[in-house]
Amino acid sequence: MSTDSRTHDTADESSRTNEHGTSANAADASYGPDDGLLVLDGVTKRFGGLTAVDDLSFAVESGEILGFIGPNGAGKSTTFDCVTGVFPPTEGTVRYDGEDVTGTATHRMVKRGLARTFQSFRPLSDRSVLDNVALALTPDKVFTLSGLRGRTHDRARAVCERVGLGDRLDVSPSELPHAGLLRLELARALATDPDLLLVDEPFAGLSTGEVESVSDLLADLRDEGLTLVVVDHNMRGLLSLIDRAVVIRFGAKLAEGTPDEIRSNEEVQEAYLGGST
């Protein structure tokens, strides 16, 4: 990231806080189009009188795993609804791959290479695992209708194998355990051939062993060239996986840094960790 293009209001940043007590230091960084694959600059989202996302700026660097952390209701989903075109931000700019994509519709963002998984899985229950993934392939990869039995299924099979579902191709999603449904959700997102994958709370409901196994998968995907943002409301399993984190509170940035910097940040400790990691 070209941090030199980022500007800080240094006049009194050590003492200023916003209405929620978030330091100006964390909140005031301003970002340009070249700072990352995905760049949010001053994104604000209001629902009537409620400010769910409050002048939020950060960049996701190409090839990293960024943790996007905040407690329930902090504005994580709303931020990514703004990014993925569910609704436009009230204010601010979203840039993807150097271009202003503020308010761009979801299907266009998918075509640009942005994919997302959801906390609540919604696979088609009357289709097999393989068909669920085949149907998520982007249209230009569905070669012909008969392709659903041919090359499309080859590609879908490869994606299933990539996420560890190679031996569950013909089962119904209802037969998968929770961790299997998460893998299917990942496969459906990967089927769109993304450059950037937003993963929403992947560790919820997983055992310790499953957290490790999913972490390994996400790290492997990053090593193969994917950029990832992993959203979570706590640090469980996350700090050992991510390269950097952005921590938000009340929709505004509280802290940003490496796992070590986040661990030792007093404001983060007080707000999220009860004083310790």
The contact set with ligand ATP (CB under 6 A) reads 47, 50, 52, 70, 72-78, 233
Give the nearest distance from C-beta 76 to ligand ATP in angstroms: 4
Please tell me the distance from the alpha carbon of residue 181 to that of residue 112, in angstroms, as a whole number: 25
Which C-beta is closer to ligand ATP: that of 49 or that of 209? 49
Give the nearest distance from C-beta 79 to ligand ATP in angstroms: 7
Give the nearest distance from C-beta 52 to ligand ATP in angstroms: 3
Which C-beta is closer to ligand ATP: that of 52 or that of 196? 52
Which C-beta is closer to ligand ATP: that of 70 or that of 92? 70
Which C-beta is closer to ligand ATP: that of 68 or that of 165? 68
* Torsion angle, alpha carbons of 155, 156, 158, 163, to 10: 150
Give the nearest distance from C-beta 70 to ligand ATP in angstroms: 5
